[in-house]
Amino acid sequence: MSMTPLLRVRDLHCSFRVNSGMIHPVRGVSFDLQRGETLALVGESGCGKTTLARALLGLQPPSAGSIQIEGNEIAGLNRVDLRRFRPQMQCVFQDPFSSLNPRKRVETLIREPLDVHQKFAPEERRRRVHLMMEKVGLPADWGRRFPHEFSGGQRQRIGIARALILQPDILICDEPVSALDVSVQAQIINLLYDLKSDLGVSYLFISHDLTLVETFADRVAMMFEGQIVETGPAREVWCNPQHAFTRRMIDAIPVPDVTRPAPPAFRLEAD
């Protein structure tokens, strides 16, 4: 791996002023993301994961700290200066429906980042949209459809295609499968795994589910009350947790009782 991290975060703080005073959802977070790596950021709801993601994307200005992409500082940049770094870091959001404009056709939604950043000629943009749709498992001729015509899993594939159309180095996945059925979750995780190998993208994968990231992530960072309390290789953190919060998360995972007999099959009796 490169000596310079692809993403370097140091002592990052985020604060909000509310009626009762100041709240601090992110407090002194530091981590590195190497090129080609999947880092899972795991923690309970409300621990600051999404606020951290918004700060990295420039949607929430941090109150203190450093964010560097390949050694370039982006924390505190104005919107104009930040714009040239945006193609390097994109995001897949939790809800695949609310993140898509229902009035726009799918091919327009996927092409929009290319239009905003004025990349390539119109015909080349259209070609790249069709290639990206096929890469995420959607037929190119479905591009004329609207988001409501797709299932939840298909809409998340649209969101992934839109995030990857700019060929980013970093993809932030903010709970990308938590709104999907379990069977569809596996399909999306497998898709992300294949795209990582194919495109060489690095993932910051945000989740509250430690079992989900155990085999998918290279490293895990456990976040508790706005701070990262433990980091390490995913399997090592799973097998030998060092922090009490990590142990509590693992202990809370349901374990199936294989000795318990299966419930009787449901039968619909005739009247």
83-94 pLDDT tens trace: 999 999 999 988
Strands 7-18 and 21-33 turn out to be antiparallel
Mean pLDDT, the chain, as a whole number?
91
* Domains, the chain, ordered by start: 7-270 (3.40.50.300)
* Dihedral sign from CA coordinates of 37, 237, 187, 207: negative
Q: Predicted confidence band at 1 (pLDDT cuts at 50, 70, 90)?
A: very low
pTM of the model: 0.89
156 φ/ψ sector (left φ>0, alpha ψ -120 to 50, else beta): alpha
Contact 13, 28 (CB under 8 A): yes
SS3 222: strand
122 φ/ψ sector (left φ>0, alpha ψ -120 to 50, else beta): alpha
For residue 94, what pLDDT is reported?
Answer: 87
For residue 263, what pLDDT is reported?
Answer: 61
Rounded mean pLDDT, 60-86: 93
For residue 2, what pLDDT is reported?
Answer: 47
Q: Predicted confidence band at 267 (pLDDT cuts at 50, 70, 90)?
A: low
Q: Predicted confidence band at 183 (pLDDT cuts at 50, 70, 90)?
A: confident
pLDDT at 199 over 90: yes
SS3 118: coil
Query: Beta partners for 233?
Result: 219
pLDDT at 262 over 70: no
Rounded mean pLDDT, 158-169: 96
HSE (CB half, 13 Å, CA atoms) of 260?
6
Between CA 73 and CA 247 the distance in angstroms is 35
% of the chain exceeding 70 in pLDDT: 93
Q: Predicted confidence band at 39 (pLDDT cuts at 50, 70, 90)?
A: very high
pLDDT tens figures, 208-258? 888 888 889 999 999 999 999 999 999 999 899 999 999 998 888 877 665
Q: Predicted confidence band at 76 (pLDDT cuts at 50, 70, 90)?
A: confident
Rounded mean pLDDT, 111-120: 94
SS3 45: coil
Which string of b and e fits 185-208 if b means at least 16 CB within 10 Å?
bebbbebbeebbeeeebbbbbbbb
Question: Is the pLDDT higher at 25 or at 3?
Answer: 25
Q: Predicted confidence band at 104 (pLDDT cuts at 50, 70, 90)?
A: very high
